[in-house]
Structure 1
Amino acid sequence: MDLTLALMGLSLYILLWEKLPDWGNWFNALLARLPRPLTYLYEAWHCPFCFGFWAALALHGLTGIVTIEALFTPPAYLGSFGLPIAWFLDALATATLIMAASLGFKAISGPAIRGHQMTEEFRNSFKQTQG
């Protein structure tokens, strides 16, 4: 199993839905100018699994990287259906990894952020008592 595709997909997901909207108004202004169908896709693909599936298909097509190599030697009886089935199943597997990683990051980020805030509060209170 190669996690490269899932890592690229997760990176794109984080960039598009968690970082760019907060990096100034230019990205949000761009979204507001998009045609309504594209705006709908941006809103609908906020789910890491949904985005992960389509991103995996696109990234596989662009890079040729696959998550589960064994899928791409399908049995002979599948004939010409073997390759589309392999792409579909690989995209599903990659989307599952992207969703699991996204949920994992969200699960650990809350306590990590709270711990950082508590550390900063402690340092600030210590500085105030000395100064």
Structure 2
Amino acid sequence: MTEALDEGPFFHGTIAELHPGDLFEAGRPSNYKPEVVMNHIYFTALRDGAGLAAEVAVELADGAGTPHVYEVEPTGPFENDPNVTDKKFPGNPTRSFRSSAPLRVIREVDDWTRLTPEALQMWRERLAGIRANPDAEIIN
């Protein structure tokens, strides 16, 4: 992988409850399709982007869990997330990245913007569409 040119700080959103020093690692099932094993761990330099991921994770767990946003540190090389930068937002304005190396938790952050009820409903509908389509493209 080519080293991405972003100094961070970096963030990861999830429902997992973690502590400083814990690691996020690739090789786990996809949140979208559990039969797909993820080859990368995804993160962003945008705190609210990680917040969105955390809230989507709660929706994917059918409302079970609490959204968490963690400041993380890549432990190895990382690259621009091609699922976003090549397909939707050339130039990586979302500052989205992926790595096959673990991410180390630095701390939990709580100053991220929560979704409005309307935005949350839009995501529920979008996720229902993904679940209903067995051929939906899943990142890995």
- Does the pair score TM above 0.5? no
Bigger strand fraction: 2
Bigger helix fraction: 1
Q: Between Structure 1 and Structure 2, whose CA radius of gyration is higher? A: 1
Give the TM-score normalised by structure 1: 0.26
